[in-house]
Amino acid sequence: MTKPILKPGRKNPQIRTVHPTLPPAYRSRKALGFTVAAAEGRFCLQRCDDCGKLTYPAREACPACLSMNLRWQDVDPAGQLIAETTIRTSTNSYFRERTPWRTGTVMLDAGVSVLAHIHGDVTPQGRVRMIARTDKSGKGVMMALPEKEVENMADDKQLRELTCDPKHRRVLITDGRSDVGQAMARAMVNAGAEIVFVGLAEEWRGFPGQAAMTEIANVEIVPLDVTNTTSVQECAGEIGGKVDILINTAQHTRPGGIMGRRDVVTSRDEMEVNYFGLMRLMQGFGPGMKARGADGVNSACAWVNLLSVYALSNKPDFGSTSASQAAALSLAQCFRAEMAGSGVKVVNAYHGPLEDEWHQPLPPPKVSPNRLAREVTGALQQGLEDIAIGEVAVDVRGRWQEDAGVLEKELTQIEGM
């Protein structure tokens, strides 16, 4: 039975902060297909389009018929543990610091045996269900969990290396003025966060929900204006060393594209928040989080970007905002590269139109702030890196993955033609 992890005490400044090290990070190009699926939490194996054989590890050709048409496809994650070991010595620094480490061979019901990390509550020879996640190196791995939920399951030492569970962690919500920011703060408190810092620009201006927010014991309002470099630097100086999860809720969304606007004033405001604001946050909080990626139970573990799904492909009636979101996505990719090595996950949560005043003219379905907060919380608890929230985001991202070129043609064609 997994023991619940305890709330860590105050950090002893005389004790060394554990330096982030990584599990083996190199993968072949084909194997990166598994990582892409793992980032979304999908358990996939290659299946041969021609003969149907399921195969693993990643291959260039089918070992049954030598077809070149292998595709990563979702596979039944049920299986049985048929051999196991507890590794007590490793040649890799990351694992050396974390032994004993349980791994094993799982025979999938789908007919393939695989090596995997094994949850502590899986019984020898027991039934398991597999998950695919990215590990601290950002690469996909498999882990076998008990078939059914068990007590304190998420607190398993090896599983927690794959997840970004808010439990006992300290969270910064960068903008608490919006409904999204407030929903996110409540969700983090409910998920067991030790403290939730909520950023607020222009504190002298009150906001709806302020009283309810300040009443929550674990919430602390902090001055933070993402459009102001000094403000971001001061906030990072104040709390940057104790932010384990950062969720950027600051967004500036306005309808309109190019020629409907006479100048770049509104577009500049969008960029100021959605792009430069993000960059200021990354410059202010990134280095501190990067250094604390292995800092115990409340290590830095996740940076969450809330991105319009139209960052992937422009939606002309919100065309200028889409452009700023595309800029933010590109920056997030750069940030992922710069954070690699820290073990901190950069989570991109794509959402469709929100149920807020700026999307009022759009038809449903739209994403409520509570749903957005709930799904981001779930993604952190599960350790996902790429998620789509809401029907529109799932649909648009699915079409983008299928054929980005076709999606662009669809989104940019004139209505009714």
Task: Classify 14 as helix, strand or coil.
Answer: coil
CA Rg value for the chain: 22
CA distances from 291 to 165, 244, 300 (A): 19, 11, 8
Distance separating alpha carbons of residues 327 and 331, to the nearest angstrom: 6
Among 9, 10, 26, 263, binds other proteins (CB under 8 A): 26
In angstroms, what is the minimal distance from the CB of 190 to other proteins?
Answer: 33
The nearer residue to other proteins, 114 or 331, going by C-beta atoms, is: 114
Interface with other proteins, residue 116, by CB under 8 A: yes
Residue 371, both tokens: 């749903």
Interface with other proteins, residue 135, by CB under 8 A: yes
Among 11, 27, 157, 371, binds other proteins (CB under 8 A): 27
The stretch near other proteins (CB under 8 A) out of 9-17, 113-121, 193-201, 271-279 is 113-121
**8 A C-beta contact, residue 391 and residue 352:** yes
Task: Classify 182 as helix, strand or coil.
Answer: helix
Distance separating alpha carbons of residues 229 and 77, to the nearest angstrom: 47
Interface with other proteins, residue 340, by CB under 8 A: no
Among 41, 77, 104, 176, binds other proteins (CB under 8 A): 104
Interface with other proteins, residue 86, by CB under 8 A: yes
Distance separating alpha carbons of residues 21 and 131, to the nearest angstrom: 23
Cβ contacts of residue 265 below 8 Å, gap of 6+?
none
Interface with other proteins, residue 92, by CB under 8 A: yes
Interface with other proteins, residue 46, by CB under 8 A: no
Half-sphere exposure of 86 (CA within 13 A, CB side): 7
Among 40, 50, 76, 84, binds other proteins (CB under 8 A): 84
Interface with other proteins, residue 110, by CB under 8 A: no
Interface with other proteins, residue 65, by CB under 8 A: no
The nearer residue to other proteins, 21 or 248, going by C-beta atoms, is: 21
Distance separating alpha carbons of residues 289 and 169, to the nearest angstrom: 13
The nearer residue to other proteins, 12 or 89, going by C-beta atoms, is: 89
Interface with other proteins, residue 95, by CB under 8 A: yes
Among 56, 72, 276, 285, binds other proteins (CB under 8 A): 56
Among 16, 91, 263, 415, binds other proteins (CB under 8 A): 91
Distance separating alpha carbons of residues 185 and 119, to the nearest angstrom: 30
Among 52, 63, 208, 365, binds other proteins (CB under 8 A): 63
Among 11, 36, 57, 228, binds other proteins (CB under 8 A): 57
Angle at alpha carbon of residue 78, lines to 72 and 80, rounded to 5°:
120
Ramachandran bin of 61, using left for φ above 0, alpha for ψ from -120 to 50, beta for the remaining angles: beta
The stretch near other proteins (CB under 8 A) out of 80-88, 308-316, 320-328, 393-401 is 80-88
Q: Which amino acid is at 351?
A: H
The stretch near other proteins (CB under 8 A) out of 76-84, 225-233, 250-258, 292-300 is 76-84
Interface with other proteins, residue 82, by CB under 8 A: yes
Angle at alpha carbon of residue 245, lines to 243 and 246, rounded to 5°:
85
Interface with other proteins, residue 83, by CB under 8 A: yes
The stretch near other proteins (CB under 8 A) out of 27-35, 190-198, 351-359, 390-398 is 27-35
Among 47, 117, 167, 397, binds other proteins (CB under 8 A): 117
**8 A C-beta contact, residue 172 and residue 239:** yes
Interacting residue ranges for other proteins, rule: CB under 8 A: 23-24, 26-28, 30-31, 56-58, 63, 82-92, 94-95, 99, 101, 103-105, 107, 113-117, 125, 135, 137, 139, 141
